[in-house]
Each structure stands twice: as C-alpha cells, then as structure tokens.
C-alpha cells in the first residue's frame, strides 16, 4: 500500500501487528503479560536494564561513581526486550511503563523503585552529591539539558531511528521529517558545546552522561546502520570534540559494556571483575 493511500479510521483499533523488529512486543495496553519474579543480588542497587542508550546512561553513571570512590556497588540484570522480559510481573512492579531501565534502591531500611533513566540519574546524583553542580545557576543548567535530552530521545529513536532503520517499509515523508529534527537537535548541542566544555559548564554532569548515551553511538557510527553518514554528523565539530573526550573516559567505557550480549561485553554485572574480564 502506498503511503498516500492510507485513510485513518474514525476510531483506531488494534487488530494486527504493525510489523517491524519489535512487533511481537508492541501493544496498546500496559500491565504484565506473564508472571516472573526479578532476581535480587547482594549490592545496594539492583538495576534491571539493557545496554541501549537509555540503559547505558545508568551503568555509565554507576561506573563513574565507583571510579570517584563512592559506595555505589550495583548488580545489573539484563532485560531482553525482544523476549518481553519488560512485561513480567516483577519488572512491571518496579516500572509500570515496562521500559528499561528500572532501579531498585536497597540501600536503606526499605527498598524502593526508581524508573525512567533521567529520574534514576537525578536520584543517584543527589544521593551521592556527585556529577551535579552545587551552584544554583549551574544546577539549573544541568537540569535543563537533562530534560532537553529526555525530550529529544523519542525524536531520535522512536522517530528517526524507527522510520530510517527499523520500520518494515521506508517512506520519504517521515524520514525527512525526523532527519530534519534530529539534525536540528545536533545543531542545538553543537552551539552549546561551542561555548562550554560540557553541557552545564566546566564540569561533567549527569546531563552529559544522558546526552552521551544517545550521541556517542550515533557519532561513532554504531546506531541505525549508516545514520552517521546520512545525517552528516561529522559536521558537528563541537559535538565530535565532546564525544571524543567522553569516549576516552575509562568509567564510561566500562559502563557501555554492561547488559549487552555483544562480544567483549557482559550480560550481567555483579562486581568490577565482570567488566575487568572483558576490558
């Protein structure tokens, strides 16, 4: 069917899979699909995630906290979204939105959940007083760029990434629409990084870690096939400088290896030795 032939019904109903790589796990309702308890490790933080851009934000922050000497030991359990692990009763209990990552904070008298990557970054940064500015103006700048990243991720991933790479059919209009918006997002970042070393100013913060989770793979040509070439990402020279600097940080390198089944990575992380073995 040609793109222009589709006429939306008056009331949409879900009567068939929409195709694509994630068709079998896409559905218009929430809640668990099957019963399964989540495992529990010995560390204060229990992370249930996958090594996607959103998942890596959290593991990268954990590794940076550990490298800085904070007591931030964590167990990282892999959630396979293609196997619908995110719809288990245990996972839905800690994230009713059935998206990774989700964190169970067991560091106090009673465990409690934190879900959404931005919320987890804020929770950990405030808990340890690290990677978040104390100056009110710089703190506001950090918050602003963190929320900016959260708002742009669906455009890059669910918009550009989906229609350019994952959709079962390619159509010009959505690809052009989201390519334009993705390039605008990179231009916003490039202009900011032309005037500051990091997004919030002179120090690395959770805002940088959040943006890097998405921008890093794209700039390195690891996301959405040839998207880096298609979008001419090399032309964003200030973003490229910033990504290269963060690429060189050992803790971020470690965090990028967690909850992934690729060669040289670890599906689960329960101690520093797990990552040491593949570095």
The predicted-structure confidence for 167-199, as pLDDT tens digits, reads as follows: 999 999 999 999 999 999 999 999 999 999 999
Using a 10 angstrom Cβ sphere, with 0-12 exposed, 13-18 middle and 19 or more buried, the burial of residue 45 is buried
Mean pLDDT over the full length of the chain: 95
Q: Where do you find CATH 1.20.1050.10 in the chain?
A: 136-248
Q: What per-residue confidence (pLDDT) applies to 166? A: 94
Q: Where do you find CATH 3.40.30.10 in the chain?
A: 1-130+255-279
Q: What per-residue confidence (pLDDT) applies to 20? A: 66
pLDDT at 3 over 70: no
Q: What per-residue confidence (pLDDT) applies to 1? A: 42
Residue with tokens 């209009």: 173
Q: Which fold has domain 136-248?
A: Glutathione S-transferase Yfyf (Class Pi); Chain A, domain 2 (1.20.1050)
The architecture (CATH level 2) of 1-130+255-279 comes to 3-Layer(aba) Sandwich (3.40)
Among 271, 226, 212, residue whose Cα is nearest residue 56: 212
The structure's pTM equals 0.95
Q: What per-residue confidence (pLDDT) applies to 147? A: 98
Is omega for the bond preceding 265 within 30 degrees of 0, making it cis?
Answer: no
Q: Is 56 within 8 Å of 258 (Cβ atoms)?
A: yes
pLDDT tens-digit readout, 66-118: 999 999 999 999 999 989 999 999 999 999 999 999 999 999 999 999 999 99
pLDDT at 22 over 80: no
Backbone angles phi, psi at 103, to 5 degrees: -125, 135
Residue with tokens 């103006």: 137
pLDDT tens-digit readout, 195-238: 999 999 999 999 999 999 999 999 999 999 999 999 999 999 99
pLDDT tens-digit readout, 263-278: 999 999 999 999 999 9
Rounded to the nearest angstrom, the gap between the alpha carbon of residue 140 and the centroid of all alpha carbons in its chain is 22
Measured at the CA of 166, the angle between CA 163 and CA 172, to 5 degrees, comes to: 25
Q: What per-residue confidence (pLDDT) applies to 27? A: 85
Q: What per-residue confidence (pLDDT) applies to 25? A: 77
């Amino acid at each position: 069917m040609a793109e222009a032939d589709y006429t939306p019904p008056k009331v949409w109903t879900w009567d068939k899979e929409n195709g694509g790589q994630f068709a079998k796990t896409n559905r218009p309702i929430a809640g668990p699909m099957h019963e399964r308890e989540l495992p529990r490790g010995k560390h204060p933080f229990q992370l249930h995630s996958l090594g996607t851009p959103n998942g890596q934000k959290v593991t990268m922050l954990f590794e940076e906290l550990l490298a800085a000497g904070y007591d931030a030991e964590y167990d990282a359990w892999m959630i396979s979204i293609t196997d619908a692990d995110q719809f288990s009763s245990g996972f839905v209990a800690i994230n009713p939105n059935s998206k990774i990552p989700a964190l169970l904070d067991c560091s106090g008298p009673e465990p409690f959940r934190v879900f959404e990557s931005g919320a987890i970054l804020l929770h950990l940064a405030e808990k340890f007083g690290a990677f978040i500015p104390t100056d009110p103006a710089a703190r506001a700048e950090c918050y602003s760029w963190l929320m900016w990243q959260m708002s742009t991720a669906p455009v890059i991933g669910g918009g550009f990434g989906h229609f350019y790479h994952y959709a079962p059919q390619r159509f010009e209009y959505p690809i052009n629409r989201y390519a334009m918006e993705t390039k605008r997002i990179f231009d916003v970042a490039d202009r900011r990084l032309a005037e500051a070393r990091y997004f919030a100013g002179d120090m690395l913060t959770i805002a940088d870690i959040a943006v890097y989770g998405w921008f890093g793979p794209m700039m390195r040509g690891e996301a959405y096939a040839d998207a880096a070439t298609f979008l001419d990402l090399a032309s964003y020279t200030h973003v490229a400088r910033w990504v290269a600097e963060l690429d060189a940080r050992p803790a971020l390198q470690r965090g990028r290896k967690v909850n992934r089944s690729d060669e040289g990575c670890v599906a689960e992380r329960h101690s520093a030795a797990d990552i040491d073995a593949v570095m």
